[in-house]
Chains A and B, each alone.
Chain A
Amino acid sequence: MTDGRPPIGVIVFPGSNDDGDAVLALASLGADPKPVWHADPELPDVAAVVLPGGFSYGDYLRCGAIARFAPVMGAVSRFAAKGGLVFGICNGFQVLCEAGLLPGTLRPNASLSFVCRDSALTVERTDTPFTSRCRPHQHLTIPVKHGEGCYFASGELLARLEANRQIVLRYDDNPNGSIGDVAAVVSEGGNVFGLMPHPEHAVDPLLGSADGSLILGSLVDAARERALVAA
């Protein structure tokens, strides 16, 4: 760790387009972001990994379906299996669902329209490494921009997610038809997280909201703790 700045990997797939913003946001929040190329078979020494937004592999077949076969995804899966912090934004969330690291799947928006606007969210739990800076039931404003963000889980799976408290953020104004207003879920183990809204686009009041820094800042805090323990 350099000067208390935890190293956080940001995966770059062909077609990722929010990796640059993720790097900027993480750096502004005190992390040491490290871009990681999709073809790398191993991760560098990092305390967390971010899968950014974009259109990996052109969204061919299904969003995220091809990206999960990228060489680096084997390393990401092993990192997650060891309890490593993995954070997927938008397309990154879709990739984590396709890879089976998060439950459920993301489908075309019910409206069939691409939505690009601020979304109002409620924090369902603050005892995760991704929401520790939030207050219970806090309302956040973070933009969404996606065509396929309609979260789907079968009734049985949704009941299990509710029972395990795996739904971390919900939309106040569901923009895409997601079941249960789900905007973000966490894995059963609590270390893999995916959300459709883009916290990296909301880290400066100049851009309309800085609420994204509560989410990404929580990740940086958790990564710093882990980097200290490992050191």
Chain B
Amino acid sequence: MRATVLVRPKPGILDPQGEAVESSLRQLGFAVEGARIGRVVDLELEDGDPAQARQELERMCEELLANPLIESYEITVGPT
């Protein structure tokens, strides 16, 4: 079973990487009004109950994958 976790800087948290990318995109002539940079974690899980997997993934995010002080996360449990 596959799962994907998206980790994003929370709104209002300074994201200098995003700002640098935004300004570079503008320099290239793209009409960009904002860029925020997060992280993607693709996971391969043992096959099992997707609901239970989601609970485990929540714990993975809280305990390691995201820093809840500054980051939000979004979990997708996909079909293989």
- Using CB atoms and an 8 Å cutoff, list the residues of chain A in contact with chain B: 61-62, 65, 98, 104-105, 107-112, 150, 152-154, 177
Interface size on B, residues (CB 8 A): 10
Check A154–B69 contact: CB distance below 8 A.
Answer: yes
Give CA–CA (A187, B20) in the complex, Å.
34
Check B16–A62 contact: CB distance below 8 A.
Answer: no
Check A110–B64 contact: CB distance below 8 A.
Answer: no
B75 at the interface (CB under 8 A from A): no
Q: Which residues of B lie under 8 Å from residue A108 when comparing CB positions? A: 16-17
Most buried by B among A65, A107, A154: A107
A61-B64, A65-B64 in contact; A104/B69 too (CB < 8 A)? yes
A59–chain B nearest beta-carbon distance, Å: 13
Check B16–A152 contact: CB distance below 8 A.
Answer: no
Give CA–CA (A152, B69) in the complex, Å.
9
Give CA–CA (A152, B13) in the complex, Å.
9
B35–chain A nearest beta-carbon distance, Å: 13
Q: Which residues of B lie under 8 Å from residue A150 when comparing CB positions? A: 14
Q: Which residues of A lie under 8 Å from residue B65 when comparing CB positions? A: 61
Give CA–CA (A212, B14) in the complex, Å.
30
List the 8 shortest-distance A-B pairs measured between CB atoms, nearest first: A112-B16, A105-B69, A110-B16, A105-B67, A112-B20, A105-B70, A108-B16, A62-B67
Check B14–A110 contact: CB distance below 8 A.
Answer: yes
A152–chain B nearest beta-carbon distance, Å: 6
